[in-house]
Structure 1
Amino acid sequence: MANENQWSRVNRNQNMYDNHPATEPPRTPRPGNSDGPKKPRKPKKKRRWFLIIFLWLLVLGVIGALAGTAVFITYANDAPNITESNLASEPSSAIYDSQGQSIWKLSTVERDYANSNEIPKALKQAVVATEDRRFYKHNGVDPIRIAGAALANVRGSSLGMQGGSTLTQQLVKLSVFSTSTADQTIKRKAQEAWLAMRVEKNFSKDEILTFYMNKVYMGHGVSGMKTASEYFYGKPLTELSLDQIALLAGMPQSPTNYDPYLKDNSRAKERRDTVLNAMVKYGAVTQKQANEAINKPVSDGLQDLTSKAELANNNRKVADAYVQSTLKEAEALGYDTTKAGLKIYTNMDSKLQQSMYDNANGNTVAFPSEDAQIGATMTDPNTGRVVAQVGGRNMPILQGTNHATLTGRSGGSSVKPLLDYGPAIEYLNWPTNRTVEDKQYKYPGTSTTVYNWDRKDMGNITMRSALTQSRNIPAARTLEEVGGANAEKFVNGLGVPTKETPGGSAAIGIDVSTEEEAGAFGAIANGGTYYKPTYISKIVTADGTTHNYNVTGKRAMKTSTAFMLTDMMKGVIKPNATAADAAIAGLHQAGKSGLVGYGDEENMPNQAIKDAWFTGYTKSYALSVWTGYDWPNKDYIPWNYQDLPAQFYQRVMSYAMQNKPNTDWAAPDTVTPRVKGNIVEYEVKGEKWSNGGLPAVNSLPQSGETPAEAGISGSAAVGATTGNN
């Protein structure tokens, strides 16, 4: 019985081990064995534990892989979109003149895009050999490189996580991610890897390498290797020597440390030589070629950045005011000028712009002091395009005050053709010899007496004489007859806004800018069509789309009005007339000067001038000039400098008209000439007009007109109000 139980247990044990074939069952004694029963062997427990651990590790590994995949997919789904525009670094937004020459970079970082054929093969090889030797073998993520970087991290190498990134991953990081070390998280690295694989799928290796070489920062506010080549060496990439190529290829890793302009440029040389040796290993150059390049000083061929920066800054000063106005117009058109990739083409004539700047800042025109300021705008009257603009002189900073567009200063008598006599011809059909009274006069409804510059009255004179001699009393009387509403309508149609309906002292001065006057007088010059002054001809956006901009002119006055105003204003520029300093021998031109004095309460010397103006035009150009001080309560223009604007105009217009036709204005068929006292006067054909019950008079001979628009001080001009002339 005992033997049966024993065998039962043995059988059960045998069955148990049959279910675990990996473990051998213990041997048991057989019946009748003379040696007696043997003791059973113990199972190999150590092997069982290894198996269990392996199985658990396998399970955990699978779970970990699934979890990692899930996390990677989650991160990838949250990855930002990446487009070709993200990868292809758009060139810095820039402003160009009318000939397509760059005059201003808008971005804080300069970048000019290089196409693949502009990048020499040696430079591509240098970048790949140094940054990613397996670039042409991986699909955006390189497991071998990652493993090497991880091993380097364990060993304490400086390779780190960055060293595990391929060129494609670096491009992705530069395109859509922050480059901050704090942002190098697992999530970011996962997204970087995912996007790198997408980039590799959609773009060729050469395209990716080109993107990268245009994207990297090279120091000195310069991005992209093409821009760096021009900035550092003054030549295109294709003309670089091997040592220069190696220097540029090695700089992106640390532009500050590898800056060849540093006093101690040993790091730059070490990095350059590292690149050259990497090129040897890569098979791009021979050891002999590398050694020859290594023996060259790292400063070989570098430009003098001091003179380069000074030249660039001087060039920017020349165009400064024009650029300010251009940016303002671009923003009004709906463009964000802080973004890269905008190409803004302007109407600026760089030669005229340089002439304006030189005459304002040189010694061709004598200014009373270094602080005396100027603002000037020059337009093409037939299109409204602003061809040049200067916003000041001796300006200490860029993008400072643009005096050419300031509207807080009175235009003095320069506005009389726009506010008084133009509306009188347009709405009342006054002929050029219409009689106006130059007699004692008070502003309507006030006790304020209006005075002329000489505190004299000339009695009854013609409108022509009143305009050319800039008499204040006839201007105020004319505005009263025209009516403030008509005057406002007329001047507003010429692009000059009014704060209120003109009346009283506004007859001899409202606030205006040189930009506005150039546009308004341009309308007179072209026969009556107003074009808003414009700076931009076209804008090319980052996607290559071209947007053209042309201003449509609006009829602002009759051709008869424009012609008659021009004919009268010709007399302003004749010898011994009010703006004789603007005269250019033989040139057909017209214009109007203006002076603004001080009121008695401002306690300035007699004949002190607050603002001096001259706006003149030919059939090709209109030029408006203002001179004065930023702080007129402290400084003033002396009387003997009253002709500054006319002198400036004369220098600039003489230069501008050298290659332009000298064409006179032809009388339209809507006017009729009348000879009065040896002077040809004009009236609107077929229209009735009233002489106001005044006797007809002849214009004074223009050769005998008074020599200057008067120096005025307070009540000497317009009673208790600010003087204007």
Structure 2
Amino acid sequence: MSQNNQVSRKDYKKKKTDKQPEKKGNAGKWIKRTILTLFTLVLVAVIAGGLLFVYYAASAPEMTEDDLLGTFSSELVDKDGEVFYTLGAESRNFANPDEFPEVMINAMTAIEDQRFDSHMGVDPIGIARAAAGFITNRGQISGGGSTITQQLVKLSVFSTAREDQTLQRKAQEAWLAVQLERQLSKEQIMSLYLNKIHMAGNVYGVATASEEYYGKHVSELEIHEAALFAGMAQAPNRFNPYVNPDLAETRRNVVISVMRNEGMISEEEATTAMNTPIDEGLIELSQEERNTLVFDAYLWNAIAEVEDKTGLNPSTAGLVIETNLDMDAQQRVFDVLNSDEYVDFVNEDIQAAVSLVEAETGKVRALGGGRNQQGQREPDRTTQIKPVGSTIKPLTTYGPAIESLQYSTYHQITDEEYSYPDGTPLRNYDREYRGQISLREALVDSRNIPAAKVMNEDLETSQIEEFVENVGLDIEHFSNEGTIVPSNAINASTTPLQLAGSYASFANGGNYTEPYTVSKVITQDGQEIDLTPETNQAMSDYTAYMITDVLKDVAASQYNTVGIANLPQAGKTGTTNFSTDEQDQYGYPSDSVPDSWYVGYTPNYSLSVWTGYDSRAKGYLSFNDGTRQIPRHIYREIMAYVSEGTENSDWSRPSSVTEVAVEDGSNPAQLPGPNTPSSAIVSELFVSGTEPTEVSRSFGEELSAPSGLSADYDEEADELTINWDEYQLDSEDESVSYNLSVNGQSTSLSSTETSITEPPTGSLTITLSVSAFGNTGPESSISITIPERIDEEEEEEEPEEDLEEEPEEEPEEDEEDTEEEPPASEPDPSDDEEEDVPEETPEEEEPEETEEPEEPEEEPDEDEE
């Protein structure tokens, strides 16, 4: 090592010691630099934010007096062009600033904008909160931070849709709010705001709400009434006292509490107001308001759709909204749900949801959001996410299996004891197993285990995801994890409206169109906005047709509850379950269920029906009281009505599908063999090109006539020998037996030769056939003539008898007999023979008696075979 590079231990330690003070100094410098860097970044952010605010503000739209007053109403028209609802200003009562009582103004400022009197249109604290929300919500404002002035600007100029609450929009609101504060007084701003806010249903403005809810002028409002309206401003339909009285009362009392804390009312006034029942003073809905309940769910779905797709506010924008509403069908839906004329609902608490979608176009023709509605915009159950039970099976299991794996409707699945991958056991509804069954039987009878096996053992997750997304289903709703899980084979969650739309893709040859209520919007300046969604090929036509063919069996088997004469239709039932703990807790019977579904479709319409209770604690559905069958009854009443007078041609089988007769029980599918009985033949559907080609031999091969049949008679031995060729089967596991018939006397043999001693004389017909697999083939046949044999004992006796009878009877024949038997005239040799005969005859006759039963002695061998 070089001398110059050598460092002693002492020198090293010294160098380390010398460096330590330098490190402390560097740490201090590092902290200072970090602080300076952060300060610089904050300063840059503030400057950049300011510049960005100026940029956004510069692009803010102009706000006019018409915008503030909101004088433009919107008209909604049905599919026939008839106006069925006017939304907005025409139903609004305006009040002047001096007509609003102080209690109303205090209630609104207490809950919505406590610094209203002091700010210049924006609230810095609120803006900071909104900015934080922007960061944590990926560019979306989570809410809060808006002053009453900003809310007025938003209601007048901007969309109220949640997705439009961006930082840019917030900046523009703030800028316009500051400008508005310079132009108008606080009293004017408050008055405009109170006249514009939505008060549930088609009620806009506090003055209108005062008349509609309490039948009084706004100036007469009391504390509890003013507090209710102030509380409704945040979520008018949620806190509607007609629809959700409990929520409305809770919200009202929050406002009263804040008013008391802010010194706006006394403790005594607060207590009195809080103790006032929420329904005190409320008047009944007007007849006009009640008429709108017929189409209430449809109306607010259409309004929300316009807001979401255009960003326009139908209540102020003066639009013509062309909907897809079939008013005739809508009235029928309302009537079926709200009377016992068509369906026995058992009690008033059972709820229902109905969604009617045109299969080819995706147009929503009618919606039933619930029963016994008390006011507008009650909870719409057609858009609520609900567990759908077995109605999901065609969408998560059998549809993907046919689409991706090209399963046939005959595809065999073993229904047997089964557990999910995590070990959780799964059972069928009847707690039984059926062994090997077809896909058709598994789906028609809604067997759980076959569905779970196909989804979890045969399909890839990606194949399922692609299929369900193509038919518009949101996988995030399928499970708590927001992903496909093993139990999705038999249950998942979606909305009744979306379920009807997904099933419509089966009815429409695999084409999917998102269900929509509005086709077109015409703005005040005449601009037309087309809202028709695109139609996409969600699946192959063979998948749609084959699923439909199976579901037609479901519709036909539902105890005639959905059957409609001359109407081709398909459908699926579904139920969900209570846990054992829930049944014990609520005292429900074992067959109780919380939800019951029927989703069915024709070539023209797809219709989903859900029934249940809004709370699992409120009640259950059961077979015993008929409530589990209610969805099918609702479906039948509505589908029969809307199908009247329409062309209802059955679905045509596409060229991609081939119908094939197969032998039931074969696995994989085989064509029937020649001996397959008709009872074992089923007709099933296959994707063209995947049909079975192998012929089944379960019931035997096609048997032919045996060959080589021959017969030989040994006159000296008086024995007939019959031979034939051995019959060869293709199957090595089966043997044949031979069926031999001689002049109609039959026997069964296993060998290829047999002998008959002293066979019948004369012409003999011999037939032979083979039996195997429980069937008998065609016969081979030959003939042989056996000469008359000479009986020596008869030669001695018969002439004497003949001679005695000759004069009296047939002399000619006796002469012939005498001529034929010349040995009778030679007694000596005959006597010698007769002496031998008695001794030899028993010996000759004894074999005859033992040989005759020898042929059937072979029958036990056949039994053993």
**Structure-2-length-normalised TM-score:** 0.47
Q: Does 1:601 align with 2:581?
A: yes
1:619 equivalent among 588, 594, 603: 603
1:581 is displaced (CA, Å) by: 1.1
Q: Which residue of 2 aligns with 1:352?
A: 329
Q: Residue 650 of structure 2 aligns with which residue?
A: 664
Aligned to 1:684: 687
1:418-439 alpha-carbon deviations (Å, 9 max, x no partner) = 1110011001100001111111
The offset of 1:504, in angstroms, is 2.2
Distance between the aligned counterparts of 1:87 and 1:433, measured in 2?
66
CA contact (8 A) 2:71 2:316 kept: no
Contact 2:521 2:530 in 1 (8 A): yes
| Distance (whole Å) between structure 2 residues aligned to residue 183 and residue 425 of structure 1 | 66
How many Å separate the matches in 1 of 2:434 and 2:684?
A: 20
Q: How does 1:118-157 map to 2 (within 5 A)?
A: none
Look up the match of 1:704.
Answer: none
Partner of 1:365: 343
Distance between the aligned counterparts of 1:443 and 1:92, measured in 2?
56
Higher relative contact order (CA 8 A, sep 6+): 1
**CA 1:82 to 1:516, structure 2 compared with 1: closer, same or farther past 3 Å?**
closer
SS at match of 1:321: helix
SS for the counterpart of 1:582 is: coil
Tell me which amino acid in the other structure corresponds to 2:434. M
Corresponding residue to 2:304 among 302, 310, 328: 328
Aligned mates of 2:62, 2:469 — CA distance in 1: 50
Match of 1:592 among 572, 580, 590: 572
Q: Secondary structure at the match of 1:627?
A: strand
User: Could you say which residue in structure 1 is the equivalent of 2:260?
Assistant: none
Segments of structure 2 that go 5 or more residues without pairing to the other structure are: 1-60, 94-179, 190-204, 211-216, 221-282, 477-481, 663-679, 700-865
Q: Name the CA distance, whole Å, in 1 between partners of 2:524 and 2:286.
A: 30
Q: 1:660 to 1:679 in 2, by over 3 A?
A: farther
Which of these residues, 87, 97, 116, is aligned with residue 106 of structure 1? 87
How many residue pairs end up in the alignment? 435
1:367, distance to aligned residue in structure 2 (A) = 1.1
Q: 1:553 and 1:382 mapped to 2: Cα distance?
A: 9
What is the match of residue 75 of structure 2?
Answer: 94
Q: In structure 1, the residue corresponding to 2:604 is in which secondary structure?
A: coil
Say which SS state the counterpart of residue 643 (structure 1) adopts: helix
Conserved? CA contact 1:95–1:346, under 8 Å: yes
Residue 579 to residue 471, structure 1, CA distance change in 2 (3 Å): farther
Q: Distance in 2 between matches of 1:439 and 1:182?
A: 75
Q: Which residue of 1 aligns with 2:532?
A: 550
Structure 1 position 484, deviation (Å)? 2.7
Q: CA offsets, 1:434-478, max 9 Å, x none?
A: 1111111111231x2111111111111111111111111111111
1:623-677 deviation line (CA, Å, top 9, x unaligned):
0111010001331112232111111000000000001101100110011111245
Q: Could you tell me which amino acid in structure 2 is paired with residue 662 of structure 1?
A: N
In structure 2, the partner of 1:387 is: 365
Q: Does 1:641 align with 2:622?
A: no
Local SS of the residue matching 1:404: helix
647, 661, 666: which one aligns with 1:675: 661
Which residue does the alignment assign to 1:411? Answer: 388
Is the Cα contact below 8 Å between 1:92 and 1:111 reproduced in 2?
Answer: no
Measure, in 2, the Cα distance between the counterparts of 1:182 and 1:328: 32
1:451 counterpart residue number: 427
In structure 1, the residue corresponding to 2:519 is in which secondary structure?
A: strand
**Secondary structure, counterpart of 1:659 in structure 2:** coil
Say if 1:103 and 1:319, in contact at 8 Å, map to a contact too: no
Q: Provide the residue aligned with 1:628 in structure 2.
A: 612
1:490 and 2:464 are equivalent in the alignment: no
Matched residue SS, 1:637 = coil
2:364 counterpart letter in structure 1: V
Kindly indicate whether the alpha-carbon contact (under 8 Å) linking 1:108 and 1:221 is maintained by their aligned counterparts in 2: no
Q: SS where residue 76 of structure 2 aligns?
A: strand
User: How many angstroms apart in 1 are the aligned matches of 2:444 and 2:685?
Assistant: 15
Quote how far apart the aligned CAs of 1:551 are: 1.6
Name the CA shift for 1:109/1:221 in 2 (closer, same or farther; >3 Å).
farther
Higher mean displacement: 101-110 or 437-446: 101-110
Corresponding position of 1:171: none
Q: Does 1:474 align with 2:450?
A: yes
- Written as runs of structure 1 = structure 2, the 5 A alignment for 1:412-427 is 412-427=389-404
**Which is greater in Rg?**
2
What RMSD over aligned residues (CA atoms) do the two structures have, in Å? 3.4
Question: SS state of the match for residue 575, structure 2?
Answer: strand
Q: Is the 8 A contact 1:479 1:503 kept in 2?
A: no
**Against the structure 1 CA distance between its residues 81 and 554, is the aligned structure 2 distance closer, same or farther, given a 3 Å change threshold?**
closer
Larger mean Cα displacement after TM superposition, 670-679 or 325-334: 670-679
Using the TM superposition, give the Cα deviation of residue 88 of structure 1 relative to its aligned residue in structure 2, in angstroms.
Answer: 12
Write the distance in 2 (CA, Å) between the matches of 1:569 and 1:518.
15
Q: State the TM-score, normalized to the length of structure 1.
A: 0.56
Q: What secondary structure is seen at the aligned counterpart in 2 of 1:371?
A: coil
CA distance in 1, matches of 2:313, 2:692: 53
Equivalent-residue separation in structure 1 for 2:431 and 2:530 (angstroms): 53
**Distance in structure 1 (CA, Å) of the matches to 2:553 and 2:636:** 15
The answer as to whether partners of 2:71 and 2:89 remain within 8 angstroms in 1 is no
Distance 1:83 1:631, change over 3 A: closer
User: Which residue pairs with 1:568 in the alignment?
Assistant: 550
Letter in 2 for 1:381: A
**Deviation of residue 95 (structure 1)?**
2.1
State the percentage of identical aligned residues. Answer: 34
Separation (CA, whole Å) in 1 of partners of 2:62 and 2:687: 68
Q: How does 1:272-351 map to 2 (within 5 A)?
A: 310-333=286-309, 334-351=311-328
Tell me if structure 1 keeps the 8 A contact 2:352–2:371.
yes
SS in 2 for 1:345: strand
Checking the alignment, whether the CA contact within 8 Å between 2:285 and 2:375 is kept in structure 1 is no
Note if contact 2:389-2:576 (Cα within 8 Å) is conserved in structure 1. Answer: yes
- CA displacement, residues 175-226 of structure 1 (integer Å, 9 cap, x when unaligned): x999999769xxxxxxxxxxxxxxxxxxxxxxxxxxxxxxxx9x9799xxxx
Q: Secondary structure at the match of 2:387?
A: coil
- Return the alpha-carbon distance in structure 1 between the equivalents of residues 91 and 374 of structure 2: 23
- In structure 2, the CA distance between the partners of 1:627 and 1:381, relative to structure 1 (3 Å rule), is same
Contact (CA 8 Å) 1:525, 1:618: kept in 2 or not?
yes
Question: 2: CA distance between counterparts of 1:81 and 1:591?
Answer: 54
Aligned to 2:576, what secondary structure does the other structure show?
strand
Q: What is the CA–CA distance in structure 2 between the aligned matches of 1:461 and 1:100, rounded to whole Å? A: 52
**Equivalent residues in 2 for 1:189-228, closer than 5 Å:** none
Whole-Å separation in 1 of the counterparts to 2:83 and 2:649:
33
Change (3 A) 1:690 1:466: farther
Q: Provide the secondary structure at the position in 1 that maps to 2:313.
A: coil
CA spacing shift, 1:180–1:634, aligned 2, 3 Å? same
